Amino acid sequence: MTRTAQVAVVGLGYVGLALATEFAEGGFRVIGFDVSRERVDAVGKGLSYIPDVSSTDLRVLAEAGLLRASTDAKALASADVFIVCVPTPLRKTKEPDISHVLAAVETVSAHLQPGQLLVLESTTYPGTTEEVLLPAVERRGLRAGETVFVAFSPERVDPGNKTFPTSEIPKVVGGVTPACTEMARLLYSQVVCRAIPVASPKVAEMAKLLENTYRSVNIALANEFALICRRLGIDPWAVIEAAATKPFGFTPFYPGPGIGGHCIPVDPLYLSWKAREAGYEPRFITLADEINRRMPEHVLTLVVEALNDLGKCIRGSRILVLGVAYKRGVNDVRESPALEILEGLIRRGAAVTYHDPHVPSVAVNGTRLATCDLRPAVLAAQDCVLIITDHPEIDYQTVVDCAPLVVDTRRATRDVTNPRGTIVNL
């Protein structure tokens, strides 16, 4: 392959920037498009804002002219391939919000020419590629599989995962026609370990929803299991680890303070919405969502009860929350259960601070909080330290040695020895 095609990546978030970097490192010329001036300027300066792309690598690619970014849609005119990686959040009604996809497709379709490839990566409900992208192509007088190529390839980025970077995660590709599938397969096979063709865009769209629904349901099972174990006085983590010794028929999932990020709290509800449209009520998915979304309230109850056991009221208590990102090693707070927990603590009258090595500040119910340091004196001054995300940069031995009360939702303190205070686990 000559790799002379120019690849346009529309949307430079966690998925888009990682993918754009992968194509640029593979020798393609890449133009990134985003409506955020802040992101575009960062790319131009070689300053990465996601953990999976280093600023050093980004700067090298930018200086070599392999990767550039723009907020001007006219920059897309020179592209041969368009990959859409924009957000697909939920509305307040928990219905899909594909407004970003619609806007991106409208922008891209104005530049579509014969022989080009258009791929949607944004997670969405089955049918989006054929119901949204295909009509936009046809309005241009183009025919998928003949004059242009249209496909869906679900993103599979796992932010902060050093074991499986973008290049090591197989890509599923489903085109509107066999020719579209093959064109998308050829493209991705240049930069990822394997590109797997499937029968249609709907299969590819549904595969992504199954992946994250599987995780949502199993996390819900672990969370409910933890609630049951607490009532029975059993350590759920010890039970899960015992069960995980079975070499077949069991995959361990672990309880936590709730679910967060751009996928697990959202994607299953895209499937639920589509299922209801087809006249089917997806009870399993709905129940899992309800269990997972109850966990922040359970964490708040643990804090209240733990303080009561020490003769303290939550109102006026000084509480330091460790970790507000939705997972370790990232700066992403989207759908993070920590935000709901922080809001609940503030609403109950607690004096709240937080520490997160990756999140310098965060807005909670209109109020912006800034991360504090973890000096022993700061820890000792707290009535309670609440662990939400277990970042490896945090010294939990010092936390336990200094804090009079630790509520640990992630078992970050499980290997800590000789605690002088009280530890309450999920």
pLDDT tens profile 70-83: 999 999 999 999 99
Residue 419 is predicted with a pLDDT of 64
Residue 273 is predicted with a pLDDT of 95
Residue 420 has pLDDT above 80, yes or no: no
416-419: which pairs have CB atoms within 8 A and are 24 or more residues apart? none
Written in H, E and C, the secondary structure of the chain is CCCCCEEEEECCCHHHHHHHHHHHHCCCEEEEECCCHHHHHHHHHCCCCCCCCCHHHHHHHHHCCCEEEECCHHHHHHCCEEEECCCCCECCCCCECCHHHHHHHHHHHCCCCCCCEEEECCCCCCCHHHHHHHHHHHHCCCCECCCEEEEECCCCCCCCCCCCCHHHCCEEEEECCHHHHHHHHHHHCCCCCCEEECCCHHHHHHHHHHHHHHHHHHHHHHHHHHHHHHHHCCCHHHHHHHHCCCCCCCCCCCCCCCCCCCCCCCHHHHHHHHHHHCCCCCHHHHHHHHHHHHHHHHHHHHHHHHHHHCCCCCCCCEEEEECCCCCCCCCCCCCCHHHHHHHHHHHCCCEEEEECCCCCEEEECCEEEEECCCCHHHHHCCCEEEECCCCCCCCHHHHHHHCCEEEECCCCCCCCCCCCCEEEEC
pTM: 0.93
Measured distance CA(379)–CA(323) in Å, rounded: 14
- Summarised one tens digit per residue, pLDDT across range 36-50 is 999 999 999 999 999
Give the model's confidence band at 414: pLDDT under 50 very low, under 70 low, under 90 confident, else very high.
Answer: confident
Active site residues: 263
Measured distance CA(4)–CA(404) in Å, rounded: 62
Give the model's confidence band at 1: pLDDT under 50 very low, under 70 low, under 90 confident, else very high.
Answer: low
Could you tell me the two tokens for 134? 């295909």
Give the model's confidence band at 262: pLDDT under 50 very low, under 70 low, under 90 confident, else very high.
Answer: confident
Residue 129 is predicted with a pLDDT of 97
Residue in this structure with the two tokens 């994607």, named with its chain if needed: 267
What the chain holds in terms of domains, given with CATH numbers, is: 6-199 (3.40.50.720), 211-287 (1.10.1040.10)
Give the model's confidence band at 137: pLDDT under 50 very low, under 70 low, under 90 confident, else very high.
Answer: very high
- Summarised one tens digit per residue, pLDDT across range 74-124 is 999 999 999 999 999 999 888 999 999 999 999 999 999 999 999 999 999
Residue 256 is predicted with a pLDDT of 96
Average pLDDT over residues 133-145: 94
